[in-house]
Structure 1
Amino acid sequence: MTPPPLQAFLRPAASGGQRLYLHHTPPAGVPTLGALLYLPPWAEEMNKSRRMAALAARSFASAGWAVLQIDLLGCGDSSGDFADATWDAWLDDACEAAQWLVQQHPGVPLWLWGLRAGTLLSAATGARLPFEANHLLWQPATRGQTVLQQFLRIKAAADMASGQSKTAMAALRARIEAGQPVEVAGYTLSPGLLAGLQAATLDPPRSGPAPVEHRQRMLWLEVATQPAGEPGPAARTALAAWSHAGWCSAWHAVQGSPFWQTVEIEEAPALIDLSLQLLPEERNNARCGGPA
């Protein structure tokens, strides 16, 4: 199969420097069903997920979805170092990318496609945009504070293994509370990134009252080696909040490898296949709510 068209270019950002855009478009003759903006996880999870994101973007484009991947400030081939990144700057990047994508593909639904911590950025971006956006959430994180704690344990574990300190986590938290940067696994986390991530939650952007056929969509997709048959407590709480806020939300799970955290680069093709199956269904209001 001929790969779908791809444009790679640097675009000036309002917060300074340039951001790398990868714009996948459907092949000639294939109608555009919608547009997807990919918001990646952070730090090493972002690197572990690059192959899956690329495979998914190509698959989505081949099926008729325009896809934009962006390297946020301090990531990949965009301007700056990771130490320059702040949560607000990433949010600005995401909003600019969404507006650019809508301008390129007017008249089709926009989906914010987040993975792990990128789902927190997706929710915050959707709340800021002046137009409607649906959400495709892969392995969502419900609280940025939990994401940060998991990441800080890497540093604490390394310090304890080397016999440096059994109070490593407390020392890290003290630096954060003092507004100082911290370095973990080669990543320098700025106070602006730490504070923003700690405050981030998967809260639904407000969706006005509307009949089901016109409600905005949220798809929550999980992958596991042995997927559960129903959402866990955190997912149930979040899904209820989105539904209460006026969203048409649905949860699904597939079997696969947790590619964002495996030692070797892994794939979860079932996650891509399910997304391809559900996106058109949700667009046509064929399904709304509940587990698969």
Structure 2
Amino acid sequence: MNTSTDVFFLPAGDEQRLCLFHAPAPASAERPRGRVLYLHPFAEEMNKSRRMAALACRALADAGFAVLQMDLRGCGDSSADFGDASWADWQADVRLGLDWLDTRAPGVPQWLWGLRAGCLLASADWGRPLNYLFWQPMTNGKLALQQFLRLKLAAEMASGASKGLMEQMKAELAAGRPVEIAGYRLGAPLALGLEAAKLAPAGAAGRVEWLELSTREDAVLTPVSEQAIKAWQDAGWSVRVQIVQGPGFWATSEIELAPALIARSVEALA
């Protein structure tokens, strides 16, 4: 690899966001093939995915892309606690990252690359032409929130304390109070913003590279994915779908990799 990585804190008002900028290979330094902002998944899935994200960032940089990773507010080494973050904060971070990339690689195609719930955050009208790289996209924020809340249900099930717990947690969030789940304090502004999010087309139509993983050779898209893809196509977006062999690395007990997903992503963008 001939690329370099710059680790820095990007000012965000009175706070800061940890960023890693993967500069494009020297041959593309003056005119990158594109600029890419990576949006990580939710909570512990972010930590499980760090290795895969880092490898993919370097591969894209080797291919001539300028790539920015950012820990969103309350995540990783960025300012604030997870429980203090809101969905609006994360949307502001996306704009911050896009604006920063404007200064480093102006005039080239811009991509938002999301993993899992990061795709929900990515899909909005950002007031500029954008393309999307979706890794295992979640199409509905309500389902994403339910899956996260179920982690507490699973932890309480053995003691028999899970009865009515889902309704209790939802009531707490609806009342504006945080809940503790799997070591994370989830605040109402983040939970309710996630719950309302949908993977829906917005803004000027561009390209979507939709990649899903499966360990089965005969895997097919779920009806939910097919319905979401059709909505993007009906809105004029060019959507290319690939199912790639590999493990669900964001949820495995040990850190796992899906090299084919990285290779297909580089090919898709290049």
Q: Smaller-chain TM-score range? A: over 0.9
Letter in 2 for 1:169: M
Give the corresponding residue for 2:246.
Answer: 256
Q: Deviations over 1:128-183 (max 9, x none)?
A: x2211100000000011101101111101111212334222222122122221111
Letter in 1 for 2:179: V
1:59 aligned onto 2:46: no
Give the corresponding residue for 2:43.
Answer: 43
Check whether the contact 2:19–2:71 (CA below 8 A) recurs between aligned residues.
yes
Check whether the contact 2:40–2:46 (CA below 8 A) recurs between aligned residues.
yes
In the TM superposition, residue 235 of structure 1 has moved relative to its aligned partner by 1.2
Looking at structure 1, the residues matched to 104 and 96 of structure 2 have their Cα atoms a distance apart, in angstroms, of: 12
Q: Please, which runs of 5 or more residues in structure 2 have no aligned partner? A: none
Looking at structure 2, the residues matched to 24 and 67 of structure 1 have their Cα atoms a distance apart, in angstroms, of: 5
Q: Out of 200, 204, 207, which is 2:201 matched to?
A: 204
Give the corresponding residue for 1:108.
Answer: 108
In the TM superposition, residue 78 of structure 1 has moved relative to its aligned partner by 0.7
Between 1:168-177 and 1:150-159, the stretch displaced more is 168-177
Looking at structure 1, the residues matched to 70 and 138 of structure 2 have their Cα atoms a distance apart, in angstroms, of: 20
Q: Deviations over 1:190-232 (max 9, x none)?
A: 110011000000011132xxxxxxx510111001111555422
Task: Give the RMSD, CA atoms, in angstroms.
Answer: 1.3
Q: Out of 138, 144, 161, which is 1:147 matched to?
A: 144
1:238 aligned onto 2:205: no
Give the corresponding residue for 1:8.
Answer: 7
Q: Deviations over 1:75-122 (max 9, x none)?
A: 111111111110000000011101111221011100000000000011
Equivalent residue runs for 1:59-138 within 5 Å: 59-124=59-124, 127=125, 129-138=126-135
Identity %: 51
Equivalent residue runs for 1:20-31 within 5 Å: 20-30=18-28
4+ residue runs over 6 A deviation: none
Check whether the contact 2:40–2:118 (CA below 8 A) recurs between aligned residues.
yes
Q: Deviations over 1:45-76 (max 9, x none)?
A: 00100000001001110111110000110111
Looking at structure 2, the residues matched to 27 and 92 of structure 1 have their Cα atoms a distance apart, in angstroms, of: 29
Equivalent residue runs for 1:280-291 within 5 Å: 280=270
Letter in 2 for 1:259: F
In the alignment of these two chains, the number of paired residues is 268
SS at match of 1:45: helix
SS at match of 1:29: helix
Looking at structure 2, the residues matched to 171 and 160 of structure 1 have their Cα atoms a distance apart, in angstroms, of: 15
Give the corresponding residue for 1:218.
Answer: 208
Q: Please, which runs of 5 or more residues in structure 1 have no aligned partner? A: 208-214, 281-292
Check whether the contact 1:40–1:118 (CA below 8 A) recurs between aligned residues.
yes
Give the corresponding residue for 2:189.
Answer: 192
Check whether the contact 2:173–2:187 (CA below 8 A) recurs between aligned residues.
no
Letter in 2 for 1:269: P
Give the corresponding residue for 1:247.
Answer: 237
Letter in 1 for 2:4: P
Looking at structure 2, the residues matched to 196 and 259 of structure 1 have their Cα atoms a distance apart, in angstroms, of: 25
Q: Out of 169, 172, 188, which is 1:172 matched to?
A: 169
SS at match of 1:12: strand
Looking at structure 2, the residues matched to 249 and 228 of structure 1 have their Cα atoms a distance apart, in angstroms, of: 21
SS at match of 2:244: strand
Q: CA 1:217–1:228 in structure 2 vs 1: closer, same or farther (change >3 Å)?
A: farther
TM-score (norm: length of structure 2): 0.96
